[in-house]
């Protein structure tokens, strides 16, 4: 049986011991077992993809959920980044789209709620969680003043688009429990506890009070605690860009600005870090595999010697299945989705491949460019 998973590109661990590796050599040329099919997804007539970093597989193992930034912004200057201009400010388009396995839109919702969708997550009950990373900037507010009352939230929807819960105060960046600051991702523990990564800034010259942390809530949204801060030490982050959980309940944080993945327990205790996956923007865990997307290394934020791509690691120590974290299901043929800041949807098909499991810590086995 082949495994279905979704890979995120600007914008996916197991181990006995989580090791720090300061002498990791760049990995850019490993085998790529995937065939790219692009573009993928049939959008409604007149609509084009906006910038994307949010995609997940439904619990049916077939349908694909996507949250884009409300289509391509026609005001984007030639050569400018979609990341800088695409947003839902002032848009009437629904950013949350559900596709069937053939790429047809079967459901859409969320119009007028978000500014900058950054993550979509499907929980085990089928609820749809969307992370709205920021509030409107000055350019967007000039276009749509109501954007001041949106952003910095995590919204839980029913599968039909009914709002069930909102974490954070729309448009307000503060500490929980009052609000959230630049939430980037969410993962849910088996007991229902919610872990939200906060803080998108990765600039090494940012002031020390810059937010970069993980906040923990009950399944009903009651604040429990926050841990982590902006920095380079153990348990500190420079842009906690994504978060996932392994079968043992450990948290894996894509600490992008520090070019590492940090491993923590659910109380925030530092367990270790991995640097062999380069500058991680997104990550996903399934069985004994970790899928990591590096969207910046030889682009907007160079990492000497490394190139952008998708790195896949293995470990023989863990062989159990995970709670869903928005990227994988086991159903028939491999179906994968790769979405880029260039606004083009892609599907990656893996015909048949099993990664060898040789070591007691993850090693990069494959690389997708």
Q: What's the total number of domains in the chain?
A: 1
Helices (H) and strands (E) in the chain, counts: 2, 28
Q: pLDDT digits over 315-347, tens only?
A: 533 322 222 233 444 333 333 333 334 454 554
Which range among 67-76, 199-208, 292-301 shows the weakest confidence by mean pLDDT? 292-301
Residues 327, 369, 103, CA angle at the centre, nearest 5°?
Answer: 45
CA–CA distance, 106 with 91 (Å, rounded to integer): 20
CA–CA distance, 40 with 196 (Å, rounded to integer): 30
In this predicted structure, what is the pLDDT of residue 260?
92
Nearest to 75 by CA among 64, 87, 67, 66: 87
Residue 357 has pLDDT above 50, yes or no: no
Nearest to 70 by CA among 122, 9, 111: 111
In this predicted structure, what is the pLDDT of residue 315?
54
Question: Percent of the chain beyond pLDDT 70?
Answer: 78
Residue 349 has pLDDT above 70, yes or no: no
Domain encompassing residue 85: 4-368
Neighbours of 267 (CB within 10 A): 10
DSSP secondary structure, 141-186, as one string: HHH-GGGGG--SEEEEE-TTS-EEEEES-TT-B--TTT-BSSEEEE
Could you tell me the sign of the dihedral formed by the alpha carbons of 284, 289, 295, 296, in that order? positive
Q: In what order do the strands lie in the sheet with 96-99?
A: 52-57, 64-68, 96-99, 105-109
Question: Percent of the chain beyond pLDDT 90?
Answer: 56
Cα-based distances in Å from 72 to 38, 45, 48, 87, 141: 17, 13, 6, 8, 18
Residue 354 has pLDDT above 80, yes or no: no
Which range among 141-145, 296-300, 312-316, 320-324 shows the weakest confidence by mean pLDDT? 320-324
pLDDT, average across residues 138-156: 95
Which range among 70-84, 121-135, 215-229 shows the weakest confidence by mean pLDDT? 70-84
Which range among 29-33, 174-178, 253-257 shows the weakest confidence by mean pLDDT? 29-33
Torsion of CA 174, 225, 53, 264, to 10 degrees: 140
Q: Are 262 and 253 in contact (CB under 8 A)?
A: yes
CA–CA distance, 320 with 324 (Å, rounded to integer): 13
In this predicted structure, what is the pLDDT of residue 334?
32
Q: pLDDT digits over 93-117, tens only?
A: 999 999 999 999 999 999 999 999 9
Confidence of residue 12 (pLDDT cuts 50, 70, 90): very low
Q: Are 122 and 59 in contact (CB under 8 A)?
A: yes
Strand partners, 252: 244, 263
In this predicted structure, what is the pLDDT of residue 295?
77
Residues 102-106: contacts with CB within 8 Å, 24+ apart?
103/40, 103/41, 103/42, 104/42, 105/41, 105/42, 105/43, 105/44, 106/63
Decide which of 6 and 90 is more confident. 90
In this predicted structure, what is the pLDDT of residue 93?
96
Residue 186 has pLDDT above 80, yes or no: yes
In this predicted structure, what is the pLDDT of residue 324?
25
pLDDT, average across residues 65-91: 91
CA–CA distance, 145 with 253 (Å, rounded to integer): 34
Q: Can you tell me whether residue 84 is helix, strand or coil?
A: helix
Q: pLDDT digits over 250-292, tens only?
A: 999 999 989 899 999 999 999 999 988 888 889 888 877 888 8
In this predicted structure, what is the pLDDT of residue 27?
78
Match 């049986």 to its residue by tokens. Answer: 1
Which range among 75-79, 148-152, 212-216, 233-237 shows the weakest confidence by mean pLDDT? 75-79
In this predicted structure, what is the pLDDT of residue 267?
98
Q: What is the CATH number of the domain that holds 8?
A: 2.120.10.30
Token pair of 144, please?
């749509």
Q: Are 28 and 301 in contact (CB under 8 A)?
A: no
């Amino acid at each position: 049986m082949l495994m279905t998973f979704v890979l995120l590109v600007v914008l996916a661990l197991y181990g006995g011991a989580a090791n720090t590796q300061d002498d990791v050599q760049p990995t850019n040329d490993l085998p790529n077992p995937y065939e790219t099919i692009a573009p993928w997804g049939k959008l409604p007539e007149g609509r084009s993809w906006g910038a994307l970093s949010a995609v997940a597989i439904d619990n049916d193992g077939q349908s694909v959920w996507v949250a884009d930034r409300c289509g391509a912004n026609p005001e984007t200057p030639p050569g400018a980044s979609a990341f800088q201009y695409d947003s839902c400010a002032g848009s009437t388009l629904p950013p949350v789209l559900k596709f069937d396995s053939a790429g047809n839109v079967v459901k859409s919702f969320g119009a007028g709620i978000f500014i900058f969708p950054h993550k979509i997550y499907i929980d085990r009950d089928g609820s749809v969680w969307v992370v709205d990373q920021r509030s409107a900037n000055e350019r967007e507010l000039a276009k749509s003043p109501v954007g001041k009352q949106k952003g910095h939230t995590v919204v839980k929807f029913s599968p039909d688009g009914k709002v069930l819960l909102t974490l954070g105060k729309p448009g307000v960046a503060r500490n929980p429990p009052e609000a959230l600051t630049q939430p980037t991702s969410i993962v849910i523990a088996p007991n229902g506890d919610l872990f939200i990564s906060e803080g998108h800034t990765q600039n090494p010259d940012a002031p020390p009070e810059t937010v970069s942390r993980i906040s923990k809530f009950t399944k009903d949204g009651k604040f429990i605690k926050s841990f982590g801060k902006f920095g380079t030490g153990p348990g500190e982050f420079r842009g906690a860009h994504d978060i996932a959980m392994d079968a043992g309940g450990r948290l894996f944080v894509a600490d992008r600005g520090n070019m590492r993945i940090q491993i923590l327990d659910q109380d925030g205790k530092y367990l270790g870090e991995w640097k062999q996956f380069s500058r991680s923007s997104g990550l996903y865990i399934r069985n004994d595999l970790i899928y990591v997307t590096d969207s910046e290394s030889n682009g907007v934020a160079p990492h000497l010697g490394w190139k952008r791509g998708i790195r896949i690691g293995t470990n023989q120590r863990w062989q159990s299945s995970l709670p869903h974290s928005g990227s994988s299901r086991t159903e028939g043929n491999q179906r994968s989705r790769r979405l880029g800041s260039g606004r083009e949807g892609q599907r990656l098909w893996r015909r048949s491949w099993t990664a060898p499991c040789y070591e007691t810590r993850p090693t990069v086995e494959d690389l997708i460019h």
